[in-house]
Amino acid sequence: MTRYIVMDFDVVIIGAGPAGTVCAYLLRKAGIPCALVDFATFPRDKICGGGLTPKAYRLLAELMPNLHYSYKAIRKIRMGYDHKILNEIELPDEIRIVRRKEFDNALLQQYRDAGGLFVQDVFAAFERQGDGLVVRLQSGKELRCRYLVGADGANSRVRRQIMGHYNGNVLCLEQYVERNGSAPRDTIEGVVSNDYENGYYYIFPNDRCDVVGLGARGMTVQRFREVLARQGIAETQIRGANIPVEEVCSGMDDVMLIGDAGGFANKLSYEGLYYAFATGRNAAEAIITGRPFGQTNSDIYRRKRKERILAGIFYSRFGMFLVRHLTSCTWLVKKIFVAGLHTNTVAAQ
Ligand SMILES: Cc1cc2nc3c(=O)[nH]c(=O)nc-3n(C[C@H](O)[C@H](O)[C@H](O)COP(=O)(O)OP(=O)(O)OC[C@H]3O[C@@H](n4cnc5c(N)ncnc54)[C@H](O)[C@@H]3O)c2cc1C
């Protein structure tokens, strides 16, 4: 029979990505005993464009004021429809492009520097015992806790245990394109089309190469290959990952799903980092104050409802018609972008 090593904590957090580390760091700062569990050896990579919008890096600066990380600053965005670039705008504030491997490691280091406990292990399952929870790890450890936070990303096992199949993923495929000596880009490109279902084609430059990708419903490798060919881009190594855009609720006050595990990425732009920080903060707030996560996270739920309506309009045939005819109107596009990238960072409720 398996002998378990049993440990007691107030909170167990599964997943040391941006959502989990922000939550763990804030709890640690508040003096609440917690364990942050991740199966990866850090620094670990994560498929991601690495774009931090102004609202995301401002919120992060509030939550982790001593954090330092390197990034490439981009101030220009080009937009197009159906493979044609129609406009270029200059943004008042930069978008920061980070490399997730280093960025996520820097976040985790902040938590560790604050004395936080990191457990390298695989989450297997949880169960209710008495008035608490028991979290089982693959190594045989059992962590007893009052709260469990699922921050284990797009294919969350915590979410799967609670609700089984999840239907809110958008597949995003991308590849790196070497610049072969040409000057680094200083512009992000985004192109929509009636050919992509609820999504867009993008080029994100980072310091060594460009990341070319396409995120849309029903995306397949074959579709992505066709788009690369149309753009005259040679195929290198295509990688893919899900972005979960339909938020889910655990239905339990002592089990919370945050970041990608909770399906919080933006339904229109697929931005996920801001939501990872915000929901990580809101889960910590719920635990510290003893209020339900549904309450501390209410502003994010409101924002998601608005996004659902906006995405429905934007990605409809009518929306694409408007994009095609209004994208060349610089002042309007700038207004929309600035609103989307900046919108005030919302405080925990
Ligand atoms: C192609 C692509 C491009 C993107 N570009 C952007 C962008 O430019 N800007 C932006 O804001 N967002 C972007 N996103 C979204 C963004 O990457 C995510 O929203 C963000 O990483 C979510 O953070 P998280 O902490 O919730 O999850 P993750 O960063 O996925 O972290 C989850 C962690 O959980 C761990 N884990 C998983 N399962 C277990 C288990 N069973 N046991 C233990 N540990 C486990 C993993 O090892 C991982 O470290 C992109 C996503 C994709 C797929």
**pLDDT tens string 58-105:** 999 999 999 999 999 999 988 888 877 878 888 889 999 999 999 999
- In the chain the first and final C-alpha atoms are separated, in Å, by 47
pTM of the model: 0.93
With contact defined as beta carbons under 8 Å apart, do 169 and 247 qualify?
no
Distance CA 318, CA 296 (A): 36
The least confident of 129-133, 169-173, 205-209, 268-272 is 205-209
| Average pLDDT of the segment spanning 279-283 | 98
Distance CA 26, CA 193 (A): 41
- Ligand 1 mutation target, pool 71, 270, 300, 341, most atoms within 8 A of CB: 270
Distance CA 126, CA 11 (A): 13
Distance CA 249, CA 181 (A): 48
With contact defined as beta carbons under 8 Å apart, do 327 and 87 qualify?
yes
Rg value, the chain, Cα: 21
Distance CA 173, CA 224 (A): 7
Q: Is the pLDDT of residue 138 over 90?
A: yes
More confident position, 114 or 346: 114
Residue 116, CA distances (Å) to 86, 100, 207, 278, 303 in order:
49, 21, 32, 20, 31
Reported as a pLDDT band with limits 50, 70 and 90, residue 116 is very high
Residue 149, CA distances (Å) to 21, 137, 269 in order:
11, 14, 25
Amino acid occupying residue 254: D
- CB count, 10 Å around CB of 73? 10
Strand 239-244, strand 169-178: pairing: antiparallel
Reported as a pLDDT band with limits 50, 70 and 90, residue 347 is low
Least Cα distance to 255 among 148, 171, 144, 334 occurs for: 148
Q: For the chain, which residues make up each domain, given as ranges?
A: 5-167+243-342
Reported as a pLDDT band with limits 50, 70 and 90, residue 345 is low
Residue 37: what are its φ and ψ, rounded to 5°?
Answer: -110, 130
pLDDT for residue 86: 78
Q: Give the three-state DSSP class for 2.
A: coil
Amino acid occupying residue 285: E
Atom of ligand 1 nearest to the CA of 50: 8
- Ligand 1 mutation target, pool 59, 136, 152, most atoms within 8 A of CB: 152
Residue 59, CA distances (Å) to 27, 88, 143, 280, 305 in order:
17, 27, 31, 11, 21
Contacts of 131 (CB under 8 A, 6+ apart): none
pLDDT in tens, 147-176: 999 999 999 999 999 999 999 999 999 998
pLDDT in tens, 4-52: 677 899 999 999 999 999 999 999 999 999 999 999 999 999 998 899 9
Say if domain 5-167+243-342 classifies as CATH 3.50.50.60.
Answer: yes
Atom of ligand 1 nearest to the CA of 204: 8
Contacts of 298 (CB under 8 A, 6+ apart): 349
Distance CA 35, CA 9 (A): 7
pLDDT for residue 343: 61
Reported as a pLDDT band with limits 50, 70 and 90, residue 322 is confident
Which residues have C-beta atoms less than 6 Å from ligand 1? 14-20, 37-40, 46-51, 122-123, 151-154, 157, 172, 174, 213, 241, 243, 259-261, 265, 270-273, 276
Reported as a pLDDT band with limits 50, 70 and 90, residue 346 is low
Q: Is 201 left (phi over 0), alpha (psi -120 to 50) or beta?
A: beta
Q: Mean pLDDT score of the chain, rounded to an integer?
A: 90
Residue 181 C-alpha to ligand 1 middle, in angstroms? Answer: 31
